[in-house]
Amino acid sequence: MFTNKKTLLAMSVASVFALSGCSSDDDKNEVVPDPIDPPTEVVVPPEAPAELGAVVNGNIVDSATLNVVPSTVMFFENGVASTSLVDEEGNAVTSVTTEDGNFSFLLKNGADVNSVTAVVMADSYVQKTFVIDLSELSEGDLEVLLPVVSEETEGLAVEETSSTVSGGSSADPITGGVANGKATAAVTVPGGTVLQDADGNPVEGDSVTLSVTAADTSTTAGAAITPEGLNAGSTTTVKQPVGVASVEMVDSNGVKIKKFSQPITVSMAIPADKGVSTGDMLTLVSQNEDTGVWTTETQQVEVKDLMADGSFYNASFMTDHLTFFAATTDTAICTNDQVTINFSESVAKGLQLKFESDTDSFTKVLKASEVDSVTISGKGFAADGSARITLVDKKTNDVWYDSVSEEAICGTTINASVTAPAEVTLVDSVVTLTTTCSNDESAAPVTATGSNVKYYLDQNKAREKATSNGGGVYTLTNMIEGETYFVSVKYSGALASLNANGGVVEQVEAGSDVTINRAITCDVTTSAN
């Protein structure tokens, strides 16, 4: 029967276990279990990070010395905080504060943006807005140089004044200004005017500081501090600033005064050589320094009396807000908006090419494909535009080319006779990055792919980005033979823990090939035996 078969089977199985699963340690037939091996700990190296996409490597530098400037940078798209930029870890980048003047970002996957606006703020420098063209990212990494102008620069003048307020206003007029030749501007706020923040609320501080910046627009200073993007989208004419003034007011709580309950008066100097006359009405444009957006105001700038020495005209306008202001005239745009510069011999990748005049200020870092010839286009130059053109090594300040006088920059070709520094020989280095497990030295090393590697000759100079060759191998180009460079590494992915405490900085002799290895604590798993 079924019951009898089940009983017999159970007895058979028990007999098998009794014979094979146990053993006797003596003749008393005491059963001892087979020993069980303990679980084995296994150190698991991290996976090699994915390769980075194209990186924007930016440096903020002093426009005169090319030394790096500690700065804060805010990024905008169409007047609002950028949503298209990320760091090496994929974290959103809307602003950066940098002690070495250097920043990096990548485009977020799926981002469709051709440019971003960068607003740069630095102590003792005039705030400046730059437009970063991202169209070249399709070709690989992009080097960007953002030159800011010191408040001590010739042709500029900056002055601060303080006033007591109560309940958001002052019974007496609030005045301030600066006068240094043609770098002249002034502000008058009528007594009883309510000072308001960006939302229209009266400020609560018990005092305010009024800061006025003026520039002589007959020199390069005016164009150098004028925010970029003024003529974005222009097709027939370009606006050229003939007078500029930047005005800022902050209360004792650090709140910016952005609006007023009634109009205030702002005045500025317009050099006599700008083609204006007493009684002329000029277009007034302003740029929101917090977003980088330009606006054409409904108010106009009235040109008033010529100074007794004939150097400049006084001009003024009414406004109900504070920002960067420019009085402009219109001129015909360059219809063939490009200039080509052919170099007499190959130059070094990474040199700074600069256009400088009283109407234009433009800087470009040469790519590897531009060491023999470079074409600049789409910059909105005027039909009669001209500029002094220089080519400078931002690491050493060596001048490779200087046109000395201004050259026409509308639809022209310039043959530049360059002179390479005779005492300098340029060499490359190759750096291989690896990581090993500190808790298992026998584990195979992991290649540090996906790293952002930069190098620099001097702490005060711009950071260059190394070229990734894949597999954790990076090339450092155009190093000066005989010099020792600093090499900084920012890791990504599973190796990002190495970035703690400032990341990894090594010193590498130019021309040498080295391996930089760092140990990390690897994950541990267990396996049963």
Q: What residues does each domain of the chain span?
A: 2-41, 156-332
With b for 16 or more beta-carbon neighbours within 10 A and e for fewer, the 302-313 pattern comes to bbeebeeeebbb
Is the dihedral angle over the CA atoms 437, 441, 446, 447 positive or is it negative? Answer: positive
CATH of 156-332, one of 1.10.3470, 2.60.220, 3.30.43, 3.30.70: 2.60.220
Q: Give the model's confidence band at 528: pLDDT under 50 very low, under 70 low, under 90 confident, else very high.
A: low
Nearest to 143 by CA among 105, 98, 198: 105
Say if residue 374's pLDDT is above 60: yes
90 DSSP assignment: S
Rounded average pLDDT over 256-265: 96
Residue 514 pLDDT greater than 90, yes or no:
yes
Half-sphere exposure in the Cβ direction for 97 (13 Å, CA): 1
Residue-wise pLDDT tens digits, 145-167: 999 999 999 999 999 999 999 99
What is the rounded CA–CA span in Å between residue 316 and residue 265?
Answer: 7
Q: How far apart are CA 82 and CA 391, in angstroms?
A: 32
State the pTM of this model: 0.89
- Give the tokens for residue 366: 């040469």
Burial of 170 (0-12, 13-18, 19+ CB in 10 A): buried
> Which of 149, 144, 109 is CA-nearest to residue 128?
149
The per-residue pLDDT for 144 is 97
Whether residue 23 has pLDDT greater than 70: no
Q: Can you read off the two tokens belonging to residue 467?
A: 């070229």
Q: Which two tokens stand for residue 52?
A: 């980075």
For residues 382-399, give the mean pLDDT: 95
Q: Residue 15 — pLDDT band, cuts 50, 70, 90?
A: very low
Q: What is the pLDDT of residues 278-318, one digit of tens each?
A: 999 999 999 998 889 999 999 999 999 999 999 999 999 99
Measure the CA–CA gap between 328 and 437, rounded to whole angstroms: 63
Q: What is the pLDDT of residue 525?
A: 87
Q: And the tokens for 281? A: 């009405």
Q: Which residue has the higher pLDDT, 22 or 144?
A: 144
Element (H, E) at 2: helix 2-20
The arithmetic mean of pLDDT across residues 83-104, rounded, is 96
In the structure encoding, which two tokens stand for residue 142, read together?
């992009």
* In the predicted structure, residue 31 carries a pLDDT above the cut 60: yes
H or E stretch covering 300: strand 294-306
Least-confidence region, from 27-31, 397-401, 439-443, 445-449: 27-31
Two tokens, residue 304: 């008033």
pLDDT score, position 29 = 63
Would the pLDDT of 24 be above 70?
no
pLDDT at position 468 is 96
- Of the listed ranges 159-163, 170-174, 411-415, 444-448, the one predicted with least confidence: 444-448
Query: For 119-139, what is the mean pLDDT?
Result: 95
Task: Specify the DSSP element, H or E, that contains 431.
Answer: strand 426-437
CA distances from 118 to 18, 56, 147, 286 (A): 81, 13, 12, 17
Sign of the CA dihedral running 270, 272, 275, 281: positive
Give the residue, 30 or 215, on which the prediction is more confident.
215
Residue 37: pLDDT band with limits 50, 70, 90: low
Q: Are strands 426-437 and 514-520 parallel, antiparallel or unpaired?
A: parallel
Query: Exposed/middle/buried for 166, CB within 10 Å: 0-12, 13-18, 19+?
Result: exposed
For residue 443, what is the DSSP state?
S
The rounded Cα 117 to chain-centroid distance in angstroms is: 10
Residues 6 or more apart whose CB falls under 8 angstroms from that of 431 comprise 453, 466, 473, 474, 475, 476, 487, 508, 513, 514, 515, 516
Tell me the C-alpha distance between 132 and 82, whole Å: 12
Residue 277 burial (CB count, 10 A): 9
Q: Which of 25-34, 138-147, 156-165, 267-276 has the lowest mean pLDDT?
A: 25-34
Residue 41 has pLDDT above 80, yes or no: no
Cβ 332 vs Cβ 236: under 8 Å: yes
What is the overall mean pLDDT for the chain?
91
Q: How far apart are CA 409 and CA 41, in angstroms?
A: 69
Burial 56-71 (b: 16+ CB within 10 A, else e): bbbbbbbbeebebbeb
Closest CA to 472 of 498, 504, 500, 450: 450
pLDDT band at 42 (very low <50, low <70, confident <90, very high): confident
Residue 141 has a CB neighbour count (10 Å cut-off) of 20
Looking at the chain, the whole-number percentage of residues with pLDDT higher than 70 is 93
**Residue 502 pLDDT > 90:** no
* pLDDT confidence bin for 11, thresholds 50/70/90: very low
Residues 336, 236: Cα–Cα separation, whole Å? 12
Q: Is it the case that residue 1 has pLDDT exceeding 50?
A: no
Cβ proximity of 333 and 238 under 8 Å: yes
- Which residues does residue 303 pair with via DSSP β-bridges, in sequence order? 315
The Cα 413–Cα 483 span in angstroms is 36
